[in-house]
Amino acid sequence: MRDESRRQKRIASLLQEALSRILIDELREDTGDLVTVTRVDVPADLKSARIYVSIYGPDDPADVLVRLGQRAGPIRRILASSVKLKYNPQLFFALDPSADLNDRIEQLLGPSKKNERSAP
């Protein structure tokens, strides 16, 4: 598999910044959820983008993810007006697994940290 090109990285960064602003405006009004764009992956053809998000708030993250998927069209139109690209990428939203992974690591390391603190 080929490494990401500079152009892919630049486009991903540009999309991440623009989508962060868009999601704050779009979702905060409807729900009390805080949606953070943690990473954007763009393939070599630049025609699609997988957006990884972390969701904090009272609602179920899977429910918020479904709502994001349903609003992908309007979000894509807003994105097209704010970011000038040759292709307006199709958006695919996914939950960022790193937060769950960090929690799991803390659970596993928790007992060993307690043992280190109690040792003289």
The separation between CA 120 and the C-alpha centre of its own chain, rounded to angstroms, equals 43
pLDDT score of 86 more than 70: yes
Determine the Cα–Cα distance for residues 86 and 66; give it in Å rounded to an integer: 28
Structural domains of the chain in order of their starting residue, each with its CATH number: 6-118 (3.30.300.20)
Looking at residue 91, its pLDDT comes to 93
Determine the Cα–Cα distance for residues 92 and 61; give it in Å rounded to an integer: 15
Which residue did the predictor score with more confidence, 16 or 31? 16
Determine the Cα–Cα distance for residues 96 and 100; give it in Å rounded to an integer: 8
Share of the chain above pLDDT 90, in %: 30
Side-chain-facing half-sphere of 62: CA atoms under 13 Å:
0
